[in-house]
Structure 1
Amino acid sequence: MTPSTVLVVDDSELVHKLHAVALRKYEGCRLLHAYQGAEALELLGVHPDVDLVLLDVNMPVMDGLSFLRARREMGVFEEIPVVLISTEASEDDVRRGLEAGATAYLAKPFKPPELLALIDRLTGPAARHREGSQGVTGR
């Protein structure tokens, strides 16, 4: 299964454009855009068909970790895989991200094929048979 709807959450318009270019691989994939965590939670409420969230860590108003904690506290959208993306990629950063509820952590900078391989693992046929969160890190 390829993702049909991906929510990109980042405060950088350039990052939104870069993800859009990379995700062209998935023909017919619809992208939704949010620029901070609270906006992403609202969009998920309106678009329950989201297959995957690409989430930046550092954003104004509600950052990525706060988004993950709010999602967990609300008990909603937890079945949707979330790739946490950040330039901060120490072992502690990755651990905090996964503990907050990210499915995977991808360190910036990364190459588009790395992102696409991770998306394929999280949304492909094997992903449907997995139980619980799997921490996958880039680099």
Structure 2
Amino acid sequence: MPASESEVAPALLHEEDQQPGEEESADQALRNKTVLICDDDNRNIYALKKALSKEGMKVLVSQNGFECLDMLDLHKEVDIVLMDIMMPGMDGYETMQRIRKNDAFADLPIIALTAKAMKGDRQKCLGAGATDYISKPLKMDQLLSVMRVWLPLE
């Protein structure tokens, strides 16, 4: 297993150390929001699902770009998408481009997640339709912070 993949789950699960009361003020932007995780790695899905559910989010999962597009058609309530870039079939770039072709999703926040952080990746992700970009291994506090920026308070 590549090191970058094995580091994702442990990094996401360190939020257990959080002090009581800390999450109450911080997660209002996340509570009761629906997140669609698009990733082909079950370990990443498990870790993200566990951490985001703990924040009070409804979590939907797709394992490739085709499933992601289907899920968006079925679930208009999706508030934000976490998009893995390297997936078989339809990668994250093409999936984001297809999402952006639909006017209904013009303002849908999409956070690109990539393990291959190379020069130009951020710009390529933003050019394909990502709202923001985070490289793996993920730091949960960084991901939550970025998600709070893009999710409007109601």
Fold match, TM over 0.5?
yes
Letter in 1 for 2:133: Y
Moved over 6 A (4+): none
Letter in 2 for 1:104: D
Partner of 2:5: none
Calculate percent identity across the aligned residue pairs. Answer: 32
Partner of 1:96: 124
Q: Does 1:21 align with 2:47?
A: no
Q: Deviations over 1:79-136 (max 9, x none)?
A: 21000000122331110100111000000112111111111111144xx8xxxxxxxx
- Is the helix fraction higher in 1 or 2? 2
Partner of 2:37: 8
Q: Does 1:37 align with 2:65?
A: yes
| Aligned residues of 1:22 and 1:116 also touching (Cα < 8 A) | no
How many residues are treated as equivalent by the alignment?
Answer: 125
| Aligned residues of 1:68 and 1:100 also touching (Cα < 8 A) | yes
Structure 1 stretch 114-123 or stretch 55-64: which is displaced more? 114-123
Q: Does 1:114 align with 2:135?
A: no
Q: Using CA pairs under 8 Å that are at least 6 residues apart, name the structure with larger relative contact order, 1 or 2.
A: 2
Letter in 1 for 2:111: V
| Aligned residues of 2:38 and 2:82 also touching (Cα < 8 A) | yes
CA RMSD in angstroms comes to 1.6
Q: Deviations over 1:46-90 (max 9, x none)?
A: 100001000000001111000011122343422210000001223
Letter in 1 for 2:80: L
Q: Deviations over 1:18-70 (max 9, x none)?
A: 1012213422x211110001110110011000010000000011110000111
TM-score when scaled to structure 2?
Answer: 0.75
Which secondary structure does the structure 2 equivalent of 1:91 belong to? coil
Q: Over alpha carbons, which structure has the higher Rg?
A: 2
TM-score when scaled to structure 1?
Answer: 0.83
Shift of 1:13: 0.8
- Mind listing any 5+ residue stretches in structure 2 that lack a counterpart? 1-28
